[in-house]
Chain A
């Protein structure tokens, strides 16, 4: 494996983690990462040696995700029913352990994609604001406003679900 390949491989665990957190379907997430790697390898000549491999790979992943999401949105409403089922299932009381984990995962899912992406790139992948702007191809000011709105919204969701859970358990 040459140095460039090593650099790509080093980023795979982060790409997979981010994709899974973003789309909440492990198989599809790995599929997305795989497509991202295929595309990266195919366009390796476009990558400037010495530049940021991480942001480059994440931006490829982001673009693929946007395309896939667009395609899904243009399709018949088959998923709407599943979404309802899912919410119903999760609302059932669970063991307290791990509840917090499901809470964050679920709460994130209630955010629009564009807020979730920023929260995950900054809060999970610990990309700088400038790197996040580069990955999403948006101005840094937009990163900051999405971060702010996303965090405010996430806080509201976590506060309300926390309370309703306590009530239900009693």
Chain B
């Protein structure tokens, strides 16, 4: 606080928030006694602070969700039990990648075009993910309560018998789905949600690509996308999670959709 008699705006705020030394408090109070406008402001600001407190304080008493506690403690307690299945999964992904790449090399001639096509496909899938996961009222066109109709409809439009993988093990419930246009092709987007509101999307459309590719992964800011081409259909799974968290779920989806 300044040594002169002038009281600054900063002093007034510091007074409201209780950051002034006792003798500065006295100086401000002397000032306020003679400056009713500033006194009214101070009063209003103090009221704001107490209203804000009254409005939001009860939130401090809520129990901390288990998911949050698990995130904080996970590193310490989980690795021992998780490491083996994790390694097995990682190994299978490496194998899949190698398989995918050898197919890739055999198809050298169309390689660069195919690559461009895949990049465009993933761009569409990730773009559609971002657009619709932030949608509060209408995240899907057809809700999960009409799952049979949803699957029948989208299968017909996309041109293959789709199935909707059950991801409850990973904590995700189906929200529903919608039809989208990917360039001139119809594409299907299924949306899932977990208990914390995190949303995952599965995107499918037909592909001209002759060669199947296995799992590939790309990271956008805030989202990870796993994608692959299987039997002339391109699939992408996008979620706002890091790759290692998403991998087990993606792996499951891959097995279900490619295994049929």
B136 at the interface (CB under 8 A from A): yes
B17 at the interface (CB under 8 A from A): yes
Is B17 within 8 A of A122, CB to CB?
Answer: yes
**Chain A 20-49 interface mask (CB, 8 Å, partner B; 1/0):** 110001011011011101100110000000
B161 at the interface (CB under 8 A from A): no
Query: Which chain B residue lies CB-closest to A1?
Result: B73
- B-chain residues with CB within 8 Å of residue A41 when the two chains form the complex: 71-72, 74-75
Is A154 within 8 A of B48, CB to CB?
Answer: yes
Q: Which chain B residues (194-247) contact chain A, with CB distance < 8 Å?
A: 196-198, 221-222, 240, 242
A111 to chain B, nearest CB (A): 11
A151 to B48, CA, bound (A): 8
B197: which of A16, A28, A38, A72 is its contact (CB, 8 Å)? Answer: A28
Is A13 within 8 A of B62, CB to CB?
Answer: yes
- A-chain residues with CB within 8 Å of residue B72 when the two chains form the complex: 1, 5, 8-9, 12, 37, 41
Q: Which chain B residues (46-84) contact chain A, with CB distance < 8 Å?
A: 48-49, 51-57, 59-62, 64-65, 67-69, 71-76
Is B76 within 8 A of A13, CB to CB?
Answer: no
A16 to B59, CA, bound (A): 8
Is A155 within 8 A of B45, CB to CB?
Answer: yes
Is B45 within 8 A of A104, CB to CB?
Answer: no
Query: Which chain B residue lies CB-closest to A156?
Result: B44
- A-chain residues with CB within 8 Å of residue B178 when the two chains form the complex: none
B48 to chain A, nearest CB (A): 6
A37: which of B44, B68, B138 is its contact (CB, 8 Å)? Answer: B68
A149 to chain B, nearest CB (A): 10
- A-chain residues with CB within 8 Å of residue B157 when the two chains form the complex: none
B145 at the interface (CB under 8 A from A): no
Is B41 within 8 A of A155, CB to CB?
Answer: yes
A79 at the interface (CB under 8 A from B): yes
Is A14 within 8 A of B60, CB to CB?
Answer: yes
How many of chain A's residues have a CB under 8 angstroms from any CB in B? Answer: 55
A17 to B62, CA, bound (A): 9
- A-chain residues with CB within 8 Å of residue B61 when the two chains form the complex: 13
A31: which of B14, B45, B137, B197 is its contact (CB, 8 Å)? Answer: B197
Is B68 within 8 A of A33, CB to CB?
Answer: yes
A5 to B40, CA, bound (A): 44
Is B13 within 8 A of A144, CB to CB?
Answer: yes
A12: which of B49, B68, B197 is its contact (CB, 8 Å)? Answer: B68
**Chain A 68-86 interface mask (CB, 8 Å, partner B; 1/0):** 1001100110110010000
25 sampled A-B residue pairs with Cβ under 8 A = A5-B76, A9-B64, A12-B64, A12-B68, A12-B72, A20-B59, A21-B56, A30-B65, A30-B197, A34-B196, A41-B72, A67-B222, A71-B222, A75-B131, A78-B135, A100-B51, A100-B54, A101-B55, A103-B51, A105-B55, A123-B52, A151-B44, A151-B48, A154-B48, A158-B48
Residues on A lying within 8 angstroms of B by beta carbon are: 1-2, 5, 8-9, 12-14, 16-17, 20-21, 25, 27-28, 30-31, 33-35, 37-38, 41-42, 67-68, 71-72, 75-76, 78-79, 82, 100-101, 103-105, 108, 119-120, 122-124, 126, 128-129, 144, 147-148, 151-152, 154-155, 158
- Supplied contacts A8-B72, A20-B59, A75-B131, 17 more A-B pairs, CB within 8 Å: A9-B64, A12-B72, A16-B59, A16-B64, A34-B196, A42-B242, A67-B222, A72-B134, A75-B134, A78-B134, A79-B134, A104-B52, A105-B55, A119-B52, A122-B17, A129-B19, A155-B45
4 closest A-B pairs by beta carbon, nearest first, are A27-B197, A17-B59, A123-B49, A104-B51
